[in-house]
Amino acid sequence: MEEQKIPTRADIPDSDKWDLTDLFADVSKWNEDVARITRTYPKITEWKGRVGESPQTLAKVLEFEKQLDLKIERVYHFASLQLAEDSANNDHLARVAQLQNLMTKVAETSAFVVPEIQAIDDAHWEKFVADPALKDWKIPLHKIRRMRPHVLSEREERLLALGAAALDGYDDAFSQLTNVDMKYGVLIDADGREKPLTQSTYSSFLLRRDRNLRKRAFKQFYYEFQDHQFTLAASLSYSVKADVFRARARNFASALEASLFKDDVPVAVYDGLINAVRGGILPLLRYYGLRRRVMGLDQLHSYDTYVPLVPEIETHVSFDEAINKVIASLAPLGQEYTRTLADGLRGRWCDRYETKGKRSGAFSSSSYHAPPYILMNYKEDVFADVYTLAHEAGHSMHTWFSAKSQLFQNYDYPIFLAEVASTFNEELLTHFLLDETSDPKMRAYIINRQIDDIRGTLYRQTMFAEFEKVIHAIEEAGGALTLEVFKGEYRKLLEAYFGEAMAIDPSLDLECLRIPHFYHAFYVYKYATGLSAAVTLSQRVLSGEPAAVEKYLGFLKSGGSKFPLETLRDAGVDMTTAEPIKSTIAVFEKRLSELEALL
């Protein structure tokens, strides 16, 4: 049989590719805008030393930066999408590199603006923000100003900036060690074929139905981590030390508080998530019990928890059929949402299929007043790709509504909110697909998928969040972060979250050294809170709760105009309480009962 070749972009019709002419008609127009930015940005120095002289002057500075940022966002959007089309294209690489250099120069040249805003004394500040000249800038100015207690003197800020690269060295060391230096070998599959074991293929081995292969992959993978465990522990230790140093340098009580401050999220929300999930462990243990019984195992191990209980179903869903399913599932959101999305997907928002050199995976990417483009590598025989399309469409419509409703300076929403809209769409799609089918196998597959999503996002990410809190508290209390401390604290969590239902292999203690997010602490909790908010909002919409749709669309429209907790509260979800977490656990338990009956 002739090997199927990956097509080039020239091999597929334009109708299956995104249309970037909404950004720039051609590269020459892009070059003109880059040249215009290059000529224009140095003019900001005309306001150096004058930013705080009057509200009118500050308004002019902010408007100048805004017009510059609009152009920079647009040219970078175009260049990054072209690079995603073909990551080996030298012209595309060169344009992105050119912009990165330009953006560095712009940042250096305009670095005086925020310090001069912070230098305005309190008495004058009240008069500034009350002036009509700054009426469109109250929100971003409030966000800048609230950082004032944590901004240092010019000399201290310079020292922190100079030391940034050195302080972040642990991240490069971790990345180079795990992605380049560490060699995981090869595995022989059931057909006698050699398969390389790598960071990226490890997860695919854990999905195989051959248990012996899964076990060998697990052991072989962690053998390599065991050989480098002391180096990895040192890297993680210095990551924590850097977080604590920065927090103390900026007058925060803890590294956790410093991380949450930008989004105005109290530490109590972080702790509340952990407590609520800890209180809802029993359904997870019950699920593991079902998994053990269905798989016919005496003991369940970590490497048994990822293989789907229901084998991948054989389907053939064309891209156009996938659009129809996604649009139909989102019908509760009304015509403006579904018509806009349908026109975009059936038009040329989306780059649909895999081509040679194209970036893998999927993403949504947008800029102000430009289409919220979607990159897919859609495969008609992979049913999960229908979910991926719904997920990325959620991001795109979040941005579309936000850009339509907010000024440029207020439209960009924070990461805390980013996953809500995408996960919300997946929840509506699950509900639609379950209503659409009576096939027990298909229903079991869909329910199993939702259960595993909640398990991986709510339970697992919350355990990760608790680990990050524990190890930072040890450093802040003056304790030593040694290899044994890391492994010991992680094992306590493994036993608390999974121990009654799963045999915990000694090698699993080393998982705490290989999670990349641990080297960028206090991020993973947002996955868990985002899922909980999305599940709660989707349940309200699907139940027909009065004004639920209007509130959800209001959430999409709000962009970054408010802090995340306020935005979600206005939509009907109070993340300062445990209710959204409990609601998500209740959905998990309900789906588990359905799956038990089906299996």
- 392 as an active site residue: the answer is yes
Which token pair is 452? Answer: 């595993």
If DSSP codes are grouped into helix, strand and coil, which group holds residue 111?
coil
Residue with tokens 């780059």, as numbered in its chain: 351
Please list the helix, strand and coil fractions of the chain in percent, rounded to the nearest 5, in that order. Answer: 70, 5, 30
Is 123:46 a contact under the CB 8 Å cutoff? no
Per-residue DSSP letter, 178:
I
Q: Which of 136, 104, 124, 117 is nearest to 49 (CA)?
A: 117
Q: Which of 273, 284, 214 is nearest to 500 (CA)?
A: 284
Which token pair is 211? Answer: 């248990």
Q: Which long-range contacts (CB under 8 A, 24 or more apart) does 312-319 make?
A: 312/383, 312/445, 313/383, 313/441, 313/442, 313/445, 314/381, 315/381, 315/383, 316/380, 316/381, 317/380, 317/383, 317/385, 317/386, 318/380, 319/16, 319/352, 319/353, 319/378, 319/380
Q: Which of 566, 560, 557 is nearest to 405 (CA)?
A: 557
Query: 253: buried, middle or exposed (CB in 10 Å: 19+, 13-18, 0-12)?
Result: exposed
Q: Which of 323, 307, 317, 466 is nearest to 393 (CA)?
A: 323
Catalytic choice (65, 85, 392, 427): 392
If DSSP codes are grouped into helix, strand and coil, which group holds residue 501?
coil
Which token pair is 391? Answer: 């997920």
Which token pair is 527? Answer: 């996955």
Q: Which of 262, 265, 242 is nearest to 151 (CA)?
A: 262
* H-assigned helices in 110-168: 113-118, 122-130, 138-145, 154-167
Residue length, the chain?
Answer: 599
Report how far apart, in Å, the C-alpha atoms of 287 and of each of 203, 278, 298, 494 are: 20, 15, 15, 16
Q: Which residues pair with 188 in a beta bridge?
A: 194
For strands 194-196 and 186-188, give the pairing.
antiparallel
CA-to-CA distance for 222 and 229, rounded, in angstroms? Answer: 10
Q: Which of 7, 126, 23, 3 is nearest to 74 (CA)?
A: 23
CA-to-CA distance for 599 and 591, rounded, in angstroms? Answer: 12
**Number of helices and strands in the chain (H, E):** 26, 5
* H-assigned helices in 152-278: 154-167, 169-176, 199-205, 211-227, 229-249, 255-261, 267-278
Task: Please identify every residue annotated as catalytic.
Answer: 392
